[in-house]
Amino acid sequence: MKIPLFKIYWEDEDVKAVTNVIKRGSYWATGPEIKKFEEMVAEYVGRKYAVAFNSGTSALHAILLAHEIQEGDEVIVPSFTFISTANAPLFVGAKPVFAEIEDETYGLDSEDVKEKITKKTKVIMPIHYGGCPCKNIKELKEIAEDNKILLIEDAAESFGAKIGNEMVGSFGDAAMFSFCQNKVITTGEGGIIVTDSKQIYEKLRLICSHGRLETANYFTSSGQVDYIMLGYNFRMPTMVAALGISQIKKIDKMVEMRRKNAAYYTLLLKNVDGIEPPIPPDNFYHVYQMYTVQVEKSLRDKLREYLLKRGISTKIYFDPVHLTKFYREKFGFKEGDLPITEEISKKVLTLPMYPTLKKEEIKYIVNNISQFMEERK
């Protein structure tokens, strides 16, 4: 590809951070960098506690376990998301219940969420799509509080986003961020849960590492340790956490680069008929982990092919989860079950976005989109 969908932003400090842990020759697991990274994330988001995991998916699994979500429970989720949002309830025996989304930020539609609440509902799990806060997150918080159910934010794609001065990840009972390779800051793989509950924090610690009561470092202490609950090996390696520390130190710089690129995209695309650029609501701070436009559905796939032939990578984020083979066969979902979600999914197209994307590359992308649309008039 001349222009890939994303590029990882790294500097020499990132290499040094990982190299220092390797050269130390010890604490490649359970090293002090993990706790430091957790503390930095918690402080940045404005939460009391954070626990790092080897992936965002593991983190979602763990937070549902920590809140004792189980068989017979229901978790309201969007279908317009990466599949782990919907899979996480299944990991603990619960049932994912799909609700519709709104077409401005692609967050859960609060009115449809109300319709989907039953006596079995224990969690509402909205996503913050592509770097933009969920438009209805405050309404969803009120709905959760009124119904005495949990609000867990899947903020995988939106680390650093905010509404006014309120950070994404600070609205729910807990929130998950992902640090997979295409995210705003990345550790290759990795995730984290933030919460203000000391009890949940302590349970997450146990779940993360085999249910082991960490009275001492398992790898260096000769003392006995005990296992007090069922747990998993969800730990984040020390080298990964060291990379996270280095990355988070420059998050403001990377976000500003993304926002400048997004502003230039939007400036150029406003003049292209048939393309709707992402315009966040007033007072919403979008960090543009992705730059997703809407295209007339009859043209979307043709535009994809057109751009691909010209060396421009694009992707559909997201196809509906409920229409995947697994969910069709397990739950009997079919087309038409979520008409709004399905309609939006047929229109969205994510364009290349990364900090080092150049103006001339953006201009090349938009010129090709414009040419395609002109040819279809």
Domain boundary among 205, 233, 248: 248
Does residue 140 sit in the same domain as residue 33?
A: yes
Contacts of residue 259, defined as CB under 8 A and 6 or more positions apart, other chains included, come to 286, 287, 288
Does 229 lie in the same domain as 85?
Answer: yes
Residue 147 domain-assigned (yes or no): yes
**CA-CA distance, 310 to 363, in Å (whole number)?**
13
Residues 122, 191: one domain? yes
Mean pLDDT of 256-264: 98
Domains in the chain: how many in total?
2
Binned at pLDDT 50, 70 and 90, residue 138 comes out as: very high
Residue 377: the pLDDT is 77
- 5 domain residue, yes or no: no
Looking at residue 215, its pLDDT comes to 77
Domain boundary among 213, 248, 283: 248
- Name the least confident of 79-93, 211-225, 245-259, 346-360: 211-225
Per DSSP, 206 falls in state H
Would 3 be classed as within a structural domain? no
User: Using an 8 Å Cβ cutoff, are 285 and 161 in contact?
Assistant: yes
DSSP label at 315?
B
116 and 30 in a common domain: yes
Chain-wide mean pLDDT for the chain? 97
Q: Is residue 361 part of a domain?
A: yes
In a domain, 1, yes or no: no
* pLDDT for position 218: 80
C-alpha Rg value of the chain to the nearest Å:
21
Tokens of 123: 């969690």
Residues 265 and 242 both lie in one domain = no
As a whole number, mean pLDDT of residues 8-26 equals 98
> Does residue 106 sit in the same domain as residue 212?
yes
Q: Could you tell me which residue, 1 or 161, shows the higher pLDDT?
A: 161
Q: What is the pLDDT of residue 189?
A: 98
Q: What percent of the chain has pLDDT over 90?
A: 95
Q: Are residues 187 and 62 in the same domain?
A: yes
For 287-300, what is the mean pLDDT?
97
Residue 371 within any structural domain of the chain:
yes
Assess whether 213 and 272 both reside in one domain. no
Tell me, yes or no, whether 226 and 296 share the same domain: no
HEC letters along 221-275: CCCCCEECCCCCECCCCHHHHHHHHHHHCCHHHHHHHHHHHHHHHHHHHCCCCCE
Cis amide prior to 318 (ω within 30 degrees)? yes
- Residue 216 pLDDT class (50, 70, 90 cuts): confident
Residues 268 and 230 in one domain: no
Q: What Å distances lie between residue 330 and 9, 71, 141, 200, 337, CA to CA?
A: 40, 16, 30, 31, 15
Question: Looking at the domain assignment, is residue 7 inside a domain?
Answer: no
Are 181 and 280 part of one and the same domain?
no
CATH number at residue 18: 3.40.640.10
> Would residue 129 count as lying in a domain?
yes
In this structure, are residues 195 and 49 in contact, taking their beta carbons and an 8 Å threshold? yes
Question: In terms of Cα–Cα distance, which of 263, 241, 294, 273 is closest to 39?
Answer: 241
Helical pair 32-45 and 238-248, crossing angle rounded to 10 deg: 40
Give the residue numbers spanning the domain of 132: 12-248
Per-residue model confidence as pLDDT tens digits over 172-211: 999 999 999 999 999 999 999 999 999 999 999 999 999 9
Are 206 and 308 members of one domain? no
Q: Which of 217, 248, 279 is the last residue of a domain?
A: 248
Confidence grade of residue 1 (pLDDT, cut at 50, 70, 90)? low
- CB-CB contact of 175 with 152 (8 Å): yes
Whichever domain contains 300, its CATH number is 3.90.1150.10
